[in-house]
Amino acid sequence: MTSVVEAAVAAPSRRVRTRHFLMCPPRYFDVSYAINPWMDPSTPVSPQRALGQWTMLVEEYARCGHRVDLLDPQPGLPDMVFAANGATVVDGAVLEARFANPQRTAEAGWHAAWYRRHGDRLGLAAPQPAHAVNEAEGDFAVHHVPGRPGAGEGASGHTRVLAGWGFRTERAAHEELARATGAEVVALELVDPRFYHLDVALTVLDDETGLIAYHPPAFAPRSRDLLARLYPDAVLVGETDALAFGLNSVSDGRNVFVPAGAEGFLTELAARGFTPVPVDLSELVKAGGSVKCCTQEIRGPRAAERSRG
């Protein structure tokens, strides 16, 4: 076993890329229906406690220099706090969401309206409607694939989306996303209902190089093989940390905002040169969501981003 000191010396230095997030305060948060195995409508829920915990996450993002825009919560949409599901923004293109369950259908329209109102100013294209069911970043994980130096065209690399299917998002939506954004889309089949969205089974730790972490048993054997082949350096996360929502985290390239209960994963992140930022969102976990579920990333046009950074 390497000591903490050795690990810190061996770990690469990590670089922050400033993020722009869209989030929605849990003002009307509740567990009034069950659409995933974590939800039990008989469990008492405190919207005040949820709001307090969520506010701490927003404060951590701000402390690390990230920009957070807010979407107005709507009565009757208790899951609207899980903003990651509301739209997908990749390289300046916006694909609307289309929810699998009627209880959440109306959320997509509020997100689309937000982008119609603010997208122009942010340099984003008009939101594109979705025909197939997609729960946005709940099932879409985005990273850059660096190109090989000297490879000529494409040397600067391309954008890849790891796209889950099996519980919520339909496979046809992967095609729609590829067309809408121009990104390469890699389909991954989810098989364990506890990990019903990709973002509870896999997270991108470094989106410039494509370093990911995931829980292999959440995926069908062929998808597992594909992940092993594409990501030989990935951090593999065991069941205890995965069930503590460890993979429902957000990384800015150095700081990883991660559910506090995923202790083993926190240690592993530190050994890999990341700065774990533990966050307690236990009230929101009653609805089956944590850090990443609350956080939608607004990714502007890539060239513009490069010259800014």
Binding site for ligand ARG (CB under 6 A): 35-36, 39, 79, 82, 84-85, 104, 138, 197, 199-200, 287-289, 293
Would you say 34 or 125 has its CB closer to ligand ARG?
A: 34
Q: Are 292 and 84 in contact (CB under 8 A)?
A: yes
Question: Which of 39, 270 has the CB closer to ligand ARG?
Answer: 39
- Is there a catalytic annotation at residue 293? yes
Q: Which is nearer to ligand ARG, 57 or 84 (by Cβ)?
A: 84
Of the pair 83, 211, the CB lying nearest ligand ARG is at 83
CB of 197 to ligand ARG, least distance (A): 4
Report, in Å, the least distance between residue 10 CB and ligand ARG.
33
Of 111, 143, 174, 197, the catalytic one is: 197
Q: What is the 3-state secondary structure (H, E, C) of 133-166?
A: CECHHHCEEEEEECCCCCCCCCCCCEEEEEEEEC
Of 144, 174, 293, 294, catalytic: 293
CB of 85 to ligand ARG, least distance (A): 5
CB of 125 to ligand ARG, least distance (A): 23
106-142 in b/e burial notation, b at 16+ Cβ within 10 A?
ebbebbbebbeeebeeeebbebbebeebbbbbbbbbb
Q: Which residues are catalytic?
A: 197, 293
